[in-house]
Structure 1
């Protein structure tokens, strides 16, 4: 059977639509399975995270901020064993992004990598081992989301180092800002009066997360 050129084009167009629809359905199914896997892991380990990890509620805040801002290029300063990393990588799996995360302790990083592999999110994370004081300065960026959860008395310097690499509309978040820790008061005074940012504090947990939106 012979087809006219117009008919062939119509058939080709229909074939492309079918392929695209099938790929979209497969992608949706893959994400659904990943979501179920991550939810189960986080719930099963909800009360097991120690060693400088964020509380469950704070992980949820980070996840939701990334989704709401449609962030795709994120940085975490202080991986620990990967609780917050999982929450952010999970969000980035939905936005099509990736996370760079820095950890100074090799043993903690090994555990974090194992956790991300177990939950199926390792491909969304670029693990960096070393001193964040140096590594943050060396990063090229740009970033649209940053989470600082390392040495609090270095928060101001991390902010200064990242500011030129953070896009307009990007978010710099900092952990433990409701706690009496050395460096927190200085950091909050710095960001509250910074003319290029609007800063609020999420109080979902006793830790507190400062959220600075770049104008």
Structure 2
């Protein structure tokens, strides 16, 4: 837990409901133990999209399509989202959710390995939302920077690993040590790459927001 649980509960109590289809998809996802972006991250994305007004969005990690649909509701009317998912069992669920939400025309789902597919894309994208395998963020980073437009924004979710990121690698469970070290490397690179200006915010499970200079 990064932020006090009572504070999170209070902030959640202030939230307005999402659209009916998003509320239904969130309910189904939670019942199936499918991770989706947290309430505070949902609010953050909504405001960021309304400020940035990105026309072209790339999402790395579709899951069941919840965040893509949420972003589609807050992007400009002429906006388009390209989203990438590798996990075969979730792909048909995401496609069905896009159909249910009436978003098939503004969301394109690409199936397969994110890094390989990113290499095939030409961009530029006004906003890239990174919410895939955390141990792969460092590998996605060069392609993400290449694909960003000038002044484009990279949003990386779940970067603080429930607070474990500040621990020594030896204090982290052995099975999580590779992800732990790769995420620390990723955050260092985000903060020190001269092409980016990055803020790391203890919101949800941690979010890094980077602007391409």
Q: Using structure 1 for the length normalisation, give the TM-score.
A: 0.75
More deviation in 174-183 or 188-197? 174-183
Q: Is the 2:58–2:83 Cα contact (8 Å) retained in structure 1?
A: yes
Shift of 1:166: 0.9
More deviation in 46-55 or 101-110? 46-55
Q: Is the 1:82–1:112 Cα contact (8 Å) retained in structure 2?
A: yes
After superposition, where does 1:8-19 map in structure 2 within 5 Å? none
Say yes or no: does 1:42 pair with 2:22.
yes
Match in the other structure for 1:101: 83
User: What is the root-mean-square deviation in Å for CA atoms of aligned residues?
Assistant: 2.0
Greater relative contact order structure (CA < 8 Å, 6+ sep)? 2
What secondary structure does 1:122 align onto?
A: coil
Cα distance between partner residues in 1 of 2:78 and 2:150: 19
Q: Deviations over 1:128-164 (max 9, x none)?
A: 0011121011111111100111122221221111212
Count, aligned residues:
177
Match in the other structure for 2:141: 159
After superposition, where does 1:152-191 map in structure 2 within 5 Å? 152-179=134-161, 180=164, 181-182=179-180, 183-191=182-190
Shift of 1:172: 0.7
Match in the other structure for 1:197: 196
Q: Is the 2:26–2:66 Cα contact (8 Å) retained in structure 1?
A: no
**Larger radius of gyration between Structure 1 and Structure 2:** 1
Say yes or no: does 1:80 pair with 2:63.
yes
Higher helix share: 1
Match in the other structure for 1:127: 109
1:210 pairs with one of 185, 194, 208: 208
Q: Deviations over 1:150-187 (max 9, x none)?
A: 12222122111121221111001111112135322111
Structure 1: gaps spanning 5 or more residues: 1-37
Q: Is the 1:78–1:103 Cα contact (8 Å) retained in structure 2?
A: yes
What secondary structure does 1:107 align onto?
A: coil
1:51 pairs with one of 34, 46, 55: 34
Cα distance between partner residues in 1 of 2:183 and 2:27: 26
Cα distance between partner residues in 1 of 2:212 and 2:77: 20
Pair 119,202 (structure 1): closer, same or farther in 2 beyond 3 Å: farther
More deviation in 70-79 or 194-203? 194-203
Structure 2: gaps spanning 5 or more residues: 1-17, 165-178
